[in-house]
Amino acid sequence: MDGGTEYETIRLLNNRPHYKILNRVIWFICLINLFGLFLPWTQNIRGGGSVTTLKPDQRPQTIHTAIAGRIEDWYVKEGDFVKKGDTIVFISEIKEEYFDPNLVRNTNQQVEAKKMAQGSYNSKVIALESQMESLGTELNLKLEQGMNKIKQAQFKVQSDSMDLEAVKTQLAIAQTQFNRAETLTNDGLKAVVDVEEKRLKLREAQAKIITQQNKLLDSKNELINSKVEINRIKAEYSEKISKANSEKFTALSSSYDTEAQVTKLQNQYVNYSIRNGFYYIRAPQSGIVNKTFVSGIGETIKEGTAVVSIMPAKYDIAVETYVDPVDLPLIKKGSRTRVWFDGWPTIVFSGWPGMSYGTFGGRVVAIENFISPNGKYRILISPDKNEEPWPKELSIGAGTQTIALLENVPIWYEIWRNLNGFPPNYYTGQATDKAKSLKNDEKK
């Protein structure tokens, strides 16, 4: 077939009416697609997660036993609603050092007995201090009495010394009179009787001086004895006071030791009292019993064993979702998101959130800075107060899908970005702010 025939065939085909209509439809579709390329598109980041609670104390809580024991009685079953403080299970003791049913009372009696013993030691200390004070007063009186005796002995020594001097003077006079009488007798002027009389007086004077010397020595001995008595009194009372002081410190030491024992027993008493409270495992907050981890009566459990799980009755719902590390810098606290839940019908147009059916608004409240085991970062989302509230029928742990809304860009730009594998337009916001600031500067 030559070139003319080929051209003639094409010409004939183009002149057919239905092909003209098809060309118009194609051109119309192309124009619509070209116009659609300039429509706005909201960039977004998708993520998947589950329903959780906003606060840690509102999440399902596992209750553990604080002590080892044996299960004696259950007071709840799975699905029951319990109030804060309600008894869940009762356990009995399995450790032999706590078997005594009167352990707390007996320990309290020991505490009271030790307190009485401590009071006795304190009373003994007070009595010894009073005794030491009395001994000190008595010592002062004895010393004062001894000093008076010393003064009396000194005065007696002085008196006897003066008497001795007087006797010596009398002896000298008697000796002079005897010599004079003897001379006169030899001269015949005195009778022999006078000489004998003077001799007798001389002997008497000599005897008196010996007696007075003995008295003086006795007085000096009394003075020495008085001084010795002072030293004896000091030594005696010093020994008594030292002994009382030693007994006082012994009593104080016993009192302190008893006080330490009282403190130890009080600690044991409090520990035993608190331990008795651990036999009853109670609900820490109001909620629903989700699951029991142990069962039966008579089963032995160790310390820290999980007993039941409780879902709190009141909680603030939230969603935890996970995003890729490349998208993490684009998300900030307060960023708007759209959330849809498993079980709720959804027709999601990710680029036009206003046309999404069955999705709910949310705000980012927390961003985890450490990567999760799944290789993504955890984001916590709470309901947006400015939009429709989330369903009340949601259960904790239900699956969710999220879309974090970013910048508004033309559809052609989004297609071009995805074809080239570029991240969302993270710099658009900064560029827009810079352009606005430049316009404001130009106006000024």
- What pLDDT, in 10s, does the model give residues 219-267? 888 888 888 888 888 888 888 889 988 888 998 898 899 889 999 989 9
Q: How far is the C-alpha of 329 from the C-alpha of 318, rounded, in Å?
A: 22
pTM, rounded to two decimals = 0.56
Identify the residue whose tokens are 């559809």: 411
How many CA atoms lie within 13 Å of 39's alpha carbon, on the beta-carbon side?
Answer: 9
Q: How far is the C-alpha of 215 from the C-alpha of 163, rounded, in Å?
A: 9
Which pLDDT score is estimated for 5?
46
Answer for the pair 49, 317: CB distance below 8 angstroms, yes or no. no
pLDDT category at 143 given cuts 50, 70, 90 is confident
pLDDT category at 308 given cuts 50, 70, 90 is very high
Which pLDDT score is estimated for 430?
43
Q: What is the DSSP letter of 90?
A: E
pLDDT surpasses 70 at 141 = yes
- Residue 405, SS3 per DSSP: strand
Which residues are within 8 A (CB) of 309 and not within 5 positions of it... i.e. 6 or more apart? 60, 61, 62, 63, 289, 290, 291, 293
Q: How far is the C-alpha of 426 from the C-alpha of 424, rounded, in Å?
A: 6
Which of 69, 92, 85, 88 has its CA nearest to residue 77? 88
Q: How far is the C-alpha of 95 from the C-alpha of 113, rounded, in Å?
A: 26
Q: How far is the C-alpha of 123 from the C-alpha of 120, rounded, in Å?
A: 5
Q: How far is the C-alpha of 378 from the C-alpha of 383, rounded, in Å?
A: 17
pLDDT surpasses 60 at 73 = yes
